[in-house]
Amino acid sequence: MSPNSQLERQDEAVTEPRDPGGASHHGKRRTSGERAMRASLWVLMAFAAVPFVFPLWWMATSSLKSTSEILRIPPTLLPESPTFTPYREVFELQPFAQQYWNSIYIAVLVTAGTILLSSLAGYAFARIKFPGANALFVLVLAGMLIPAEVTIVPLFRFVNTLGLMDTHWPLIIVPIFGAPSVLATFIMRQFFLGLPYELEEAGRIDGLGRAGLFWRIAFPLARPAIAAVAIFTFLKSWNLYLEPIVYLSSRDKFTIPQALTQYVDAYGGPMWNVQLAATTLTVVPVLIVFIVAQRQFVQGLAHTGLKG
């Protein structure tokens, strides 16, 4: 059986839930007791969905209200007289479009760089038995365990010595080469460990060197793992909070999480409706991308756990 179709079958399994109930193996007849059970499970699920969805709903509707309406008790579910003024102010008060772009292009660069670096390293750790491979892998793994707050001060001094303060370089280089990409290497390694040897045998017979085996055979097959890595890495870079605060000081260099906290009046009191409008602007596009591509999201993530 060709490997691609085997992977495809596993993909299908995740996105089309099978029914382990057993009884409805053939045909769709269900007892009324079962129907009642399923109905109550559905209600439970709908109930469970509320805390996931309601905050986003509230955020979007509040961005159209005036501040006093937001603070009113009892709270209103829909804005009384919706206004887009907060949205206008989002762009007037800060170079928000620039900041948005900053977050996007940094995340894209970090994702591309991490995919490249982690697939190379993950492949080598999985396939090549070079001396010290295990030791180096454990060393690299240690990176996953260190919280950013621990290393931020030495890194800060280091970046400052290099004269790279208030630039985007530390936000790009450090995530690609440092701790955040270690999870990606781990995922890629897991994937390559599970890749059947026969695939590369054919290439070796054809005279491909190791590098060729990687580029021509292993890497193209790694699409699901790469998708997972891309998602994790993009989100992580998108959400970086402490690092931009420490490294960046000019407003037009800020990234989105930073920018969101800046919608305050002259004395630090938050301008709620403007802040929520900015928040909505950052959430909605990502949500749309997610809804459109959610199959790929889920498939990609599912493959990271399959090997345990």
Partner 1 sequence: MPSTITSLRVGRPTRRSTWRRRDNAVGYLFVAPQVLGTLAFVVAPLVMVVWYSLHEWNVLANTFTFEGAGNYERMLEDPGLRNSLVVSGWFSLGLVVLNISLAMVLALLLNQKLRGTTAFRVMFFSPVVVSLVAWTIVWGFLLQADGGINGFLSTLGIEGPNWLRNGTTAMISVIVVQVFKNVGLNMILFLAALQGVPVEIQEAAQLDGANAWRRFWAVIVPLVSPTILLVSIITVVGSLEVFAQIDVLTQGGPGHSTTVLVYYLYQQAFEFNQFGYASAVSVLLFVLVLTLTLIQWQTRKRWVFHES
Partner 2 sequence: MIHRRTTVSILAAVALSTSLVACSAGSDPGPSATDTGAAPPAAPVNLTMTVWTANEDQLALFDEIAQGYIAENPDKVASVDFEVIPFADYTTTLTTQLAGGSPPDLAWILESNAPEFVQSGALTDLRGTLEGTPGYEMDDLVDSALALWEDGDSLYAYPFSSSPFAMFVNTDRIAAAGTANPADLVNQGEWTYDAARDISAASVAKLGGAGLVVRDFEYTVWENLATVWGGWGASPWSEDGTTCTFTEPEMVDAMTWIHEAIFADSAIPGPGTSADFFAGETTMTVTQISRASALDGSFEWDLIPLPEGPEGKQNVIGQAGIGVFAQGANPQIAADFLAYFTNPTNAERLATYFPPPRESLLTAEVLAQANPLLSEEQLQAVVVDGIQGAKTKPSHQNFAQLQDTVRAELDAMWQPDADVESVLADVCTAIDPLLQG
Give contact residues for partner 2 (rule: CB under 8 A).
67-68, 71-72, 93, 132, 134-136, 138-139, 153, 156-161, 165, 245-246, 249-251, 261-262, 264-269
Nearest CB to partner 2, comparing residues 59 and 245: 245
**270 three-state secondary structure:** strand
How far apart, in whole angstroms, are the C-alpha atoms of residue 89 and residue 59? 16
Would you state the torsion angle of the CA atoms of residues 157, 159, 163, 164, taken in this order, to the nearest 10 degrees? Answer: -140
Instruction: Tell me which of partner 2, partner 1, none is bound by residue 6, counting a contact when its beta carbon lies within the kind-specific cut-off of 5 to 8 angstroms.
Output: none
The neighbour count for residue 257, using CB atoms within 10 Å, is: 18
Residue 160 binds which entry of partner 1, partner 2, none, with Cβ cut-offs from 5 to 8 Å by kind?
partner 2
Rounded-to-integer distance, Cα 282 and Cα 10, Å: 33
Q: Give the SS3 label for residue 123.
A: helix
Nearer to partner 1 by Cβ, of 253 and 260: the residue is 260
> In the bound complex, what is the minimum distance in angstroms from residue 161's beta carbon to partner 2?
5
C-alpha 175: how far from its chain's center?
Answer: 14
Whether omega for the bond prior to residue 257 falls within 30 degrees of 0, making it cis, is no
Of the two residues 9 and 88, which places its CB atom closer to partner 1 in the complex? 9
**260 touches which of partner 1, partner 2, none (CB within 5 to 8 A by kind)?**
partner 1
Q: Which residue has the tokens 């749309």?
A: 288
* Smallest distance, partner 1 to C-beta of residue 127, A: 8
135 binds, among partner 2, partner 1, none (CB under 5 to 8 A by kind): partner 2
Which residues 6+ apart lie within 8 Å of 239 measured at CB?
Answer: 257
Closest CB to partner 2 among residues 7, 141: 141
Residue 247 neighbours by CB distance under 10 Å: 23
CB closer to partner 1 out of 121 and 229:
121
The answer to whether the Cα torsion of 208, 214, 219, 221 is positive or negative is positive
Task: Tell the smallest beta-carbon distance from residue 88 to partner 2 (Å).
Answer: 15
How near is the Cβ of 252 to partner 2 at its closest, in Å? 12
- Minimum separation from the CB atom of position 248 to partner 2 (A): 10
Residue 42 binds: one of partner 2, partner 1, none (C-beta under 5 to 8 A by kind): partner 1
Q: Which is nearer to partner 2, 89 or 297 (CB)?
A: 89
The least distance separating partner 2 from the CB of residue 99, rounded to whole angstroms, comes to: 14
The burial of 280, by beta-carbon neighbours within 10 Å (0-12 exposed, 13-18 middle, 19 or more buried), is given as buried
- Report residue 220 as tokens: 């193209």
Chosen from partner 2, partner 1, none, partner binding at 74 (C-beta under 5 to 8 Å by type):
partner 1
* In the complex, least distance from residue 121 CB atom to partner 1, rounded to whole angstroms: 4
> In this complex, which beta carbon is closest to partner 2, that of residue 51 or of residue 132?
132
Cα 285 from chain centroid? 14
- Going by C-alpha positions, the residue among 221, 226, 238, 194 that lies closest to residue 296 is 226
